[in-house]
Chains A and B, each alone.
Chain A
Amino acid sequence: MEYILIIISAIFVNNIVLAKFLGVCPFMGVSNRLSTAAGMGGAVTFVLTLATIVTYILQKYVLEAFGIEFMQTITFIIVIAALVQMVEIMLKKISPPLYQALGIYLPLITTNCAVLGVAILAAGNTDFDLLKSAVFAFANALGFALALVIFAGIREHLELMEVPKGMKGVPIAFVTAGLLALAFMGFTGLV
Chain B
Amino acid sequence: MNQWKNFIKGLFKENPALVLLLGLCPTLGTTTSAINGLGMGLATTFVLVMSNMVVSLVKNAIPDKVRIPSFIVIIASFVTIVEMVMQAYTPELFDSLGLFIPLIVVNCIILGRAEAFASKNNVASSIIDGIGMGLGFAFALTLLGGIREILGSGSLFGINIPIFPLDANGNPQTMLVFVLAPGAFLGLGYLIAIKNRLSKK
Interface residues of A (CB under 8 A from B): 18-25, 28, 70-74, 77-78, 81, 110-113, 116-117, 120-121, 166-167, 170-175, 177-179, 181-182, 184-185
Interface string of B65-89 (1 = CB under 8 A from A): 0001100110011011001100000
* B186 closest partner in A (C-beta): A178
B-chain residues with CB within 8 Å of residue A28 when the two chains form the complex: 21, 24
Which 9 A-B residue pairings sit nearest by Cβ, starting from the closest?
A: A174-B189, A178-B185, A21-B29, A171-B193, A178-B186, A181-B182, A182-B182, A24-B24, A74-B76
* A72 vs B79: C-alpha distance when bound (angstroms): 11
Q: Contacts A78-B69, A113-B25, A166-B196 known; A173 to B177 CB distance under 8 Å?
A: no
Give the interface size bracket for B toward A.
Answer: 35 or more
Selecting from B49-57, B104-112, B122-130, B167-175, the interface stretch reads: B104-112
* B31 closest partner in A (C-beta): A21
Asked if B25 and A24 make an inter-chain contact with CB atoms under 8 angstroms apart, the answer reads yes
Q: Contacts A77-B106, A111-B111, A120-B99 known; A185 to B189 CB distance under 8 Å?
A: no
Asked if A179 and B182 make an inter-chain contact with CB atoms under 8 angstroms apart, the answer reads yes
Beyond A18-B181, A174-B186, A181-B182, 9 additional contacts (C-beta under 8 Å) are: A20-B29, A25-B24, A70-B84, A71-B80, A77-B105, A173-B189, A174-B188, A175-B190, A179-B182
* A7 vs B185: C-alpha distance when bound (angstroms): 25
Can you offer 18 A-B residue contacts whose CB atoms are under 8 A? A18-B181, A23-B25, A25-B21, A25-B25, A71-B80, A77-B106, A81-B68, A81-B69, A112-B106, A113-B106, A120-B102, A166-B196, A173-B189, A174-B189, A178-B183, A178-B184, A178-B189, A182-B177
> Would you give the shortest CB distance from A157 to chain B, in whole angstroms?
18
Q: Contacts A24-B24, A185-B180 known; A174 to B84 CB distance under 8 Å?
A: no
Interface string of B6-25 (1 = CB under 8 A from A): 00000000000000011111
* A172 vs B196: C-alpha distance when bound (angstroms): 12
Asked if B108 and A25 make an inter-chain contact with CB atoms under 8 angstroms apart, the answer reads yes
The answer, yes or no, to whether B93 is at the interface (CB within 8 Å) is: no
Partner of A175, one of B23, B24, B186: B186
Q: Contacts A166-B197, A171-B193 known; A77 to B72 CB distance under 8 Å?
A: yes
Asked if A70 and B189 make an inter-chain contact with CB atoms under 8 angstroms apart, the answer reads no
Partner of B103, one of A117, A167, A171: A117
The answer, yes or no, to whether B135 is at the interface (CB within 8 Å) is: no
* A171 vs B196: C-alpha distance when bound (angstroms): 9
A-chain residues with CB within 8 Å of residue B83 when the two chains form the complex: 70, 73
* A112 closest partner in B (C-beta): B106
The answer, yes or no, to whether B58 is at the interface (CB within 8 Å) is: no
* A21 vs B83: C-alpha distance when bound (angstroms): 20
Asked if B103 and A113 make an inter-chain contact with CB atoms under 8 angstroms apart, the answer reads yes
* A20 vs B192: C-alpha distance when bound (angstroms): 21
* A121 vs B76: C-alpha distance when bound (angstroms): 18
* A116 vs B25: C-alpha distance when bound (angstroms): 12
* A178 vs B68: C-alpha distance when bound (angstroms): 34
A-chain residues with CB within 8 Å of residue B141 when the two chains form the complex: none
A-chain residues with CB within 8 Å of residue B186 when the two chains form the complex: 174-175, 178
Asked if A178 and B182 make an inter-chain contact with CB atoms under 8 angstroms apart, the answer reads yes
* A24 vs B181: C-alpha distance when bound (angstroms): 12
> Would you give the shortest CB distance from B2 to chain A, in whole angstroms?
30
Asked if B185 and A175 make an inter-chain contact with CB atoms under 8 angstroms apart, the answer reads yes
Asked if B182 and A171 make an inter-chain contact with CB atoms under 8 angstroms apart, the answer reads no
* A128 vs B79: C-alpha distance when bound (angstroms): 26
